[in-house]
Structure 1
Amino acid sequence: MQDNHDSLFRKMLLATAPLLLWGAHFVFLYVFVAASCIAGMSDVMLAGVPAQTAVLLLESAAAIVAAGVLLLRSARTLKRRGSQARLVEMAYAGSALLALIAILWASLPVLFLRTCN
């Protein structure tokens, strides 16, 4: 019975991993901006770019790459399984696509808006 529960947990974690990645990215964006604004880092420059923006862009790029890798893995799994794909594998692919779109959407303000005012 224990193996069945471990297998279920692993499957659910696989299906929700992309959404957990998006959630972590979203929380990092807001916590980092709040903490760095409170710390007075708005005037710190890094290679001609505000340090806050550079950190946020690097973290966003890492999250986008990670979500892309998860999406590619899920697409390969679906392609390999074909019409025999299970619901959890379809959920994994759907959540990976949703997470990639959500990460891109959450990252857009970093490109266009100032962080502290």
Structure 2
Amino acid sequence: MPMSLLPLDMSYRVVYMCRDPKDALVSRLHFENKIIEGSNLSMESAFSMFSKGFSSSGPFWNHCLEYWKESLARPNNVLFLKYEEIKSDPVHVVRRLAKFLGVPLSREEESSGVAGGQVVQL
């Protein structure tokens, strides 16, 4: 949903995740060809549509830029994450997300490896 459609009061928090544009394009191409029976959307057609802003969430750049600007203006209300960041350093992102949501990891959680996805034996 575009940021501009959300209530202006910002009494809520938003976590927005974007993807690299080329990965978003390829993912969308595969998704549409998979869910729409008989669809055989070509890369050229998908690229043309993507470049022109044809998308269920609006033009890619406008959508991402709206959330990016809001994350700079209101860092306590909007957290802008990149999918590639999450993949490359998930522990850092989990810590950042926990802090943003107001539930930072405790020392016990940190020392037991909760942020790294390790299972703690009881």
Normalising to structure 2: TM-score of the pair? 0.35
Higher strand share: 2
Q: TM-score, normalised by structure 1?
A: 0.36
Structure showing greater relative contact order (alpha-carbon pairs closer than 8 Å, 6 or more residues apart): 1
